[in-house]
Amino acid sequence: MSPSPGDPLEAEGVLNPASGRTEDGSLHLLPRLVAEGNVSRVGLAEVTLTDGVPTGVTRRGVVLAPDAGWERGKNNAGVEDPRVTWIESLGQYVMSYVAYGPLGPRPALAVSADLRDWRRIGPLQFAYQPDLDTDLNLFPNKDVVHFPEPVPGPDGEPAYAMLHRPMWDLGWFRPGEGVHLPAGVTDERPGIWISYVPAAEAQADVTALTRPRHHRLVALSEHPWEQLKIGAGPAPVRVDEGWLLIHHGVSGNMERFVAQQQNVSYSAGAMILDPADPARVLARSAEPLMAPETEEERSGTVPNVVFPTAIEEIDGVRHVFYGMADAHIGVARLERTG
């Protein structure tokens, strides 16, 4: 998918889609549509399949725009980078997205039964956790994805779990404030965290998903291709070994508080999370599964980016949809080699 010429809502790119299927089984993407001024909306686009291969899209309009006051600042606005998970036990799609509001990027949730009509259930409100000696609500946070089914919570009870990525440097908001790390964390690079909501609470009231607790660190950068930071990609997929998590890693030189970086490289790798304790990493890729190679991946709003955000099975084959250089959307076949 590439920007439609002449469409002002796509003037600065289409990228980083979520995905899902409508009631007739048709595969759809929910792309981030970027208008002039870096104002983002979430669209809906039906995927065209040719012999089981995604080859294009038919646009179906906009399903979420920065209409709520907390999604807009005086000089910015946006609903960005949606990730969508169908949670069967809730009977709904759950969308996480980044609300670009007065205090910068904040994670928020919306729900839908059909991908078309979305109901905001609000920004995330992380429960206070004394052992962290901080308030997670102070920090910008992105890359929120939900597991598609309840997992064992830290207390042993079933819980809906979400991965997320807090960013500890508050200097963007208050110059000179700098980095504030939670207790026990010594590496200031943004990494992947997990938080939980008791399944019974969310099944009684879906808005409980906006109030996660039991926050734990899952993974930090380990390898050169992810030296600056890592973040979750599509919702985890259950495989024989555990939960398969496709993640992105960033390397290069990053300028502080610049939205559209020009000297970094985003690649994609994978982890296996323990099904008995999804905060535990069983294995992870030492080398990227995919790195920027094609012209569309190497040249764009932010060059050298592959940013996976959705995974779907088509005729028994898994496909990963990803942002290309913050300007286009591509798709890759995910094949098992061992």
Q: In this predicted structure, what is the pLDDT of residue 337?
A: 80
Task: Tell whether the model's pLDDT for residue 258 goes beyond 60.
Answer: no
| Residue 302, pLDDT above cutoff 90 | no
Longest Cα–Cα distance in the chain: 56
Give pLDDT, residue 174: 87
pLDDT of residue 261 exceeding 60, the answer is no
HSE toward the beta carbon, residue 41, CA cutoff 13 A: 16
Q: Give the model's confidence band at 186: pLDDT under 50 very low, under 70 low, under 90 confident, else very high.
A: very high
Region label for 25, one of left (φ > 0), alpha (ψ between -120 and 50) or beta (otherwise): left
Give just the sign of the alpha carbon dihedral 140, 203, 279, 129.
positive
**Residue 295: which H helix or E strand, with range?**
helix 295-298
Reported as a pLDDT band with limits 50, 70 and 90, residue 172 is confident
Predicted local confidence at residue 253, as pLDDT: 78
State residue 55's pLDDT score: 96
Mean pLDDT of all residues belonging to the chain? 95
How high is the pLDDT of residue 150?
A: 98
- What's residue 179's pLDDT? 96
Q: Does position 63 have pLDDT exceeding 80, yes or no?
A: yes
Place of tokens 């985003």: 266
Q: What's the pLDDT score for residue 260?
A: 59
Q: Is the pLDDT of residue 255 over 90?
A: no
Q: Tell me what the mean pLDDT of segment 97-114 comes to.
A: 96
Q: Does residue 189 carry a pLDDT above 90?
A: yes
Question: Is the pLDDT confidence value at 153 over 70?
Answer: yes
The pLDDT value recorded for residue 263 is: 80
